[in-house]
Structure 1
Amino acid sequence: MSAMTVPNLAIGSDHHLMPVIGFGTAASPPPEPLLLKQTVLDAIKLGYRHFDTSPRYLTEEPLGEALAEAVSLGLVGSRSELFVTSKLWCADAHGGLVVPAIQRSLKNLKLDYLDLYLIHWPVSSKPGKYKFPIEEDDFLPMDYEAVWSEMEECKRLGLAKCIGVSNFSCKKLQHILSIATIPPSVNQVEISPVWQQKKLKELCKSKGIVLTAYSVLGSRGAFWGTPKIMESDVLKEIADAKGKTVAQVSMRWAYQEGVSMVVKSFTKERLEENLKIFDWSLTEEEMQRISTEIAQCRIVGGEVYISKKGPIKSLEEMWDASLSLRVLASFHLLPRHQLVLLTAYQPTNEMYVRTSSDACKMGRNRM
């Protein structure tokens, strides 16, 4: 079978081409390196060219090995055919630490440059401390101007083709825009039929910023996931009428909304299914049903980034009041002392994992 072709979106002032579907590597617990490498190779054979990682996901090294192998095997003609995204972690979100952080990611990935580098969360923590959840006393105010200035330096140095943010609300994104010389190309956030982010979409469209959705399928199986998408009666009815899966309808909806997306599966059949959304479309009526008939509920609250001792003290402050009572009722809020240390990593990539089935049931905080 020949590889399928995934459409691109042009991002940034340089109009760098980003495939609208990316393969995400965030998982709970993190995937076994050999499994991840084989899945990435399978994904490339199917047509995936966009790969999303972060130091937090513990996947940079195996992803880099898989991409290097794909080039050496001739699965792609060269590195330039691939689009790789990584992210700046909270402990490195400080003036003087951003460039060293991207250089570590590049070393882990065995790359000379990233196609896209994102600030992972609008949160800073004490430099050199990489435990997760972040300890209450370790949260610090983010110096947006210093951090964004160094993100711009990453682009000027050729370490990143494009730069952007992740998990930024309208207010926080507008603040970055007010200080930026090089505006963010992308904002990667939770978007799905059950959390449509209409206000944020309008802002990003007006500013030429591409939105990338995570959890567009609900991230079932991850501790931050939800069955709300796959069990949606509206999506099921549309899927049945079109002879498609609920996952395909959800992804097609995002595509028609002008949103790129990062999805994940370690099953070859699912990987292939997720690419089969470009030779059909949803009608205006079906898009309207999704827009108006599905109750809205934020899934990824980011509770572990909130602390009474830190600069962000509530969910309302994290998301700048873009919450509803329905959303608040859906969160599993826990005292911080009850949160389990799920993972920790060192910037040398000497990583280890501690997790349990109980830990995976305890929160909705994307890694």
Structure 2
Amino acid sequence: MQYANSLIGRQLKTLWKAVGQLTALLWFPEIADLQQYLADIDVAVANVLDTFAEIDPTKIIQKIKLHLLTHLHKDILRFGPLVGMCTEGYECYNAVFRMCSVLSNHLAPSRDIALQLADQEALKHRLTGGWWPSADHDWTRAGSRVRDFLYSHSVLQRILGWTPEEQLIPGSFKLQPLKPGMHTHDPMRLDQTAAVHALNYSSFDPALPCIKCRYCIAASEDKCLVGAWVFSKSPLDNAMVASRIINILAHDSQVAYVVIDIFEVASTRHARYDMPYLVHHHDEASSMIVCTKDIKFTFNVQHDCMFAQYMGSGRRAHRRTKHFEIAKMLRDSQETKRAARKAANDAKKATAVSIVEEGLDEFSSRKRRREDAPE
């Protein structure tokens, strides 16, 4: 019953197209023609609400987010493009509320969460050297050993949110961790990597030694892992290009290069979702080598299963099979332990019975000897 009253696949596809049209309009950093833009927003919002009305009208009443869509026109007039507005940033705090109510009986969750948060703040106040009035109205605080405990335990610092911010330097990078048993990284030649297919490969020395990196830092201080989608500056014409990171290669401790797979926004929208999508130029894959300092920021791209004709990899079934195997092993282990305990208990019972029988036999023999003895 977890997904009771939820939407089915056909309904989601219909909604996805309507929401895709609205999302494409909202993702505008600048508005050239305000009146035309607002008219398009009103039509897109009406399409989303009409789609919900056809599928399940009660959601328009129950979901406050659908009601907020009707205020987009006024919000744009007041705040400008909505793509730069931070919305629902505090929803990530829901995990904290949920953890605070784990040990609650859920009869008064708001009270239990408030008390738990108050206890946490009181503990933080004591550990960080805060003062409080004692019973005799004197101000006191925790002892030096209690205060020093926080300085020597990084886990407690992280729980209390008292950790130094990580210094992210744009253009910096981090090498991949060493494999077990290795003490130094094994460099490779540039012509042994995916960089050989780059458009500007001829500008580099094929014998250039390089080491694979785990991530690099973009100009926006985003951590860019291998496989991340990024906007970067092209070294050929200094234009901004949408790309996907193939490799991050460090030449030395100061210089690293990023091999990117170049994409461009298609001239038409997606046939099903009516959203902008990325394609290779003339349907031909092309890559480029850029410096880490030319990586600007990351962005989110969803996989197009319909265009790629994705039929599933079977990984889910493999995991399910593995899960069943593990469950069977656990059941067999429990049965073995249960049989061992039963055998041990039976042995104890048999020992106890034999002891009692021996005692009864001894008692009977003594009794007979007493009866047979002359008076």
Q: TM-score range by the shorter chain?
A: under 0.3
TM-score of the two chains, using structure 2 as the length reference: 0.21
Greater RCO (Cα-Cα under 8 Å, separation 6 or more): 1
Larger Rg: 2
Task: Answer 1 or 2: which has greater helix percent.
Answer: 2
Normalised TM-score (structure 1): 0.21
